[in-house]
Structure formats: C-alpha cells, structure tokens
C-alpha cells in the first residue's frame, strides 16, 4: 500500500476516533471499521492498531474484557499480526495484555478469563506468550508471580496432578 495513502487513511481515522466521546462509542468502532467500506481495505489492519492503542488509553479498566471481546469479534489483533512481523505485532499489542492483567481481580477465575480472552482475540498465542508480553509491557516480576501462581493448576491441570502425585 502506498505510504501516503496509508498516512491519509490513518489521519482520517484518527478524527473518527477523536470524535468518540464515550467508551461505548469507542468500542463500537471495532464493528464499524470491520464492516466499513469507507476506508481502504489494506489500511484496516493499521487502523485497527490505532484503535487498539486508543482503547488501551481511554477505555476504563472495568471494560477491558469487553475490549477483548470486540477485538475477537472483529479479528482486529489477528489483522494486526497479519501485516506486521511478530516483534512489531507484539510491541503493538503488549499494552492490551498489561491492561487485561492489571484490570482484573487477582483471583484464579478472573485471571484465567483474561488469559483465555487474550488467546481467543489473537493478542497472544498462549499463556507463556501472554506472560512474555506482560513482561515486555513493563509489568514487574512481583506483579507476574501471582498471575503464574494463581493460574498454573487451572491452565495445566494434568501436569499439576502429576506433580502432586510425585511430591506426595
């Protein structure tokens, strides 16, 4: 895609994003962009990256799971990954992981929901990738340890049972 065309599409879309005053309106842009014929199809992955960035900054913590849901429905993160190298895509999406983990209660069920939604939405490939992105997003080891401790058995139930049997 021509760089000038992409630059123009991104500038035009930035105005659309800026015009959204509520979190709800911002989240609704995922579906609208997905189905829109007003933006160049080749520009959409880049526009989704811009929208994701805006949502991470503007959407409230209590709406983080809803953000992941609309990302899953629109395929936004998968489109971002399709047009960027893995390191570039990780850099664009790592803030979503941090927002997800810092927005949910530190309890097994909530953390597991965050891991699952991150995978389903295409933000991360698996638990390890989610943790790696959280680390790259600036989460400290002290923040990551509880995520690991509280979700290990739920994520790897057969391994945990084998470990318990061996150590008993």
Domain ranges of the chain: 3-167
CA distances from 97 to 29, 38, 100, 130, 164 (A): 20, 30, 5, 7, 30
Position 152 scores a pLDDT of: 85
pTM reported for the whole predicted model? 0.89
Q: Which sign, positive or negative, has the C-alpha torsion 6, 11, 14, 19?
A: negative
Rounded distance between C-alpha atoms, residue 31 and residue 161, angstroms: 42
Contact 104/55 with Cβ under 8 angstroms?
no
Question: What's the CA angle centered on 27, arms 80 and 33, to 5 degrees?
Answer: 55
Give yes or no for residue 128 having a pLDDT over 90: yes
pLDDT band at residue 156 using 50, 70 and 90 as cut-offs: confident
pLDDT band at residue 100 using 50, 70 and 90 as cut-offs: very high
Q: What does the pLDDT look like over 25-77, one tens digit per residue?
A: 999 999 999 999 999 999 999 999 999 999 999 999 999 999 999 999 999 99
Give the phi and the psi of residue 27 in degrees, each rounded to 5.
-65, -35
Rounded distance between C-alpha atoms, residue 94 and residue 15, angstroms: 24
């Amino acid at each position: 895609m021509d760089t000038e065309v992409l630059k123009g599409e991104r500038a035009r879309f930035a105005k659309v994003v800026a015009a959204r005053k509520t979190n709800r309106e911002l989240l609704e842009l995922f579906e609208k962009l997905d189905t829109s014929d007003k933006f160049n199809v080749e520009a959409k992955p880049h526009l989704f990256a811009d929208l994701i960035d805006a949502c991470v900054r503007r959407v409230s913590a209590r709406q983080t799971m809803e953000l992941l849901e609309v990302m899953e429905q629109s395929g936004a993160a998968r489109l971002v990954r399709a047009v960027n190298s893995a390191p570039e895509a990780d850099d664009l999406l790592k803030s979503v992981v941090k927002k997800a983990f810092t927005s949910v209660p530190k309890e097994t069920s909530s953390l597991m929901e965050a891991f699952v939604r991150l995978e389903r939405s295409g933000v991360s490939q698996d638990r390890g990738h989610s943790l790696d992105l959280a680390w790259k997003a600036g989460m400290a080891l002290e923040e990551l340890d509880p995520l690991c401790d509280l979700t290990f058995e739920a994520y790897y139930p057969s391994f945990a049972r084998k470990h318990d049997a061996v150590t008993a």
